[in-house]
Structure 1
Amino acid sequence: MFLIINVVLSPAVDFSLVVSPGPVCVAPGEDVILPVHLLPETSAVSMEIRWFRGTELIYQYMNGQEMTNNDFENRASLSTQEVRRGNLALTLRNVQPSDSGDYTCKVFHDGCQKRGVVHLQVKGKILFKLQLQILFCSSYTCMLYMHI
């Protein structure tokens, strides 16, 4: 399921910014993609794209140039090939619990602005799984089988 936010980028053409309505969940240390794209599929090469975590600008794409906040250096990126197809998804590498929160994608073009919000949840990994099975019970004892 996706949330569609309507945005008018020029008087003659109507676009939508599509974001995931639910949270994106990932385990610490993994890479994650925060999905956002234009509908219909349209090149965003001439647009300005900004990604924020809260109010902090973490990534900016403008005129083919990329700028990244120092805290996200070598961790945040867009695929410039995908931008040509309207895919504005932000890739975050090696996420940590402190990366959890709302990420806002803002798109600027021809004096118009539109935004979409993706919520990221970084949750702990399952270290092991424990299964218990009762093999038999009597009135005095139970025998259990434990599988880790």
Structure 2
Amino acid sequence: MCTCCLDSKKPSFIVALWTFILCSEFIVRTPVQAVMVIGSSLPIFAAPGDDVILPCHLEPMFDVQGLTVEWSKPDLKPDPSDRLSRVEYVHLYRDRKEVPDMKMASYFRRTELFMDAMKHGNISLKILNVSEEDNGRYRCFIPKLRSRVKAAIVELVVDPNYAKNLTTDKPLHPKILQTPDPQDTTPRNTGRSRVSVVVVIFAFISVVAVAAFASCFSDLLQQRLNKQPEDDETQR
């Protein structure tokens, strides 16, 4: 590196270098994609008595073990007799454990999260022994998630004729009937995110390198121009 680039009177290269170091650290630590809560775009069908899984996960993969996870039925209004108008939850996870005190009585001991999978961003809810009273929309919500998309809606349809429909001549496609596996924690778009980070860092390094070269070249040119009058004066 030329000594002119380290001249204290021209700190542009040093400033650019420090800017690169700080920005590169920020780029590496900051996810390229915003974390979003994603549910199922299709209704989940079940027969009375079935155990079902309402799929919900974070994408890209994100550890939510230390956050609050709320599962509720948004179409149900608070009990008018409750003076505090508290929301009753289908399932409430807080402080790394289930909170049954604010849970709807009809779901007591019938719901659970997949605790081991939560570190992979899986917040799917399992409901045991469903009935037609469980029909409706379910809302999965992470209130303290730093994202614009903190919630997702999953619809559950409990149909007494569902088991009969499975035995008809033209059953639905198995992939449609299958409840998503909560243990499937394969990260999506991870490779694309890493490539984006590399491209951004490479582009930033190129800009810094060009700026440093331009600064050195400018200093050399300025020194040569300053030296030329001195040489002409010496020749005289």
Q: Same fold (TM over 0.5)?
A: yes
2:154 is matched with 118
CA distance in 2, matches of 1:84, 1:130: 40
AA in 1 matched with 2:129: N
CA distance in 1, matches of 2:130, 2:109: 12
In the alignment, which of 50, 62, 70 is matched to residue 42 of structure 1?
62
Alpha-carbon deviations, 1:71-98, whole Å to 9, x = none? 2111011011111111000000000011
Report if the CA contact (8 A) 1:46-1:109 is conserved: no
**Alpha carbons of 1:29 and 1:40: their partners in 2 closer, same or farther (altered >3 Å)?**
same
Alpha-carbon deviations, 1:20-64, whole Å to 9, x = none? 111000010000000000111111112110000234411111121
In the alignment, which of 88, 96, 101 is matched to residue 64 of structure 1?
96
* Larger Rg computed on CA atoms: 2
In the alignment, which of 7, 15, 40 is matched to residue 35 of structure 2?
15
1:85 is matched with 120
Single out whichever of 71-80 and 52-61 deviates more from structure 2.
52-61
**What is the percent sequence identity of the aligned residues?**
27
Report the structure, 1 or 2, having the larger strand content: 1
**Alpha carbons of 1:42 and 1:94: their partners in 2 closer, same or farther (altered >3 Å)?**
same
AA in 1 matched with 2:89: L
1:4 is matched with none
Poorly superposed stretches of 4+, deviation over 4 Å: 110-113
**Alpha carbons of 1:30 and 1:114: their partners in 2 closer, same or farther (altered >3 Å)?**
same
- Structure 2: tracts of 5 or more residues without a match: 1-29, 77-87, 170-236
In the superposition, the TM-score normalised over structure 2's length comes to: 0.46
Q: RMSD across aligned C-alpha pairs, in angstroms?
A: 2.4
CA distance in 1, matches of 2:64, 2:168: 48
Task: State the 1:122 CA deviation.
Answer: 0.1
Q: Is the aligned partner of 1:30 residue 2:50?
A: yes
- Structure 1: tracts of 5 or more residues without a match: 1-11, 132-148
Equivalent pairs, count: 120
In the superposition, the TM-score normalised over structure 1's length comes to: 0.72
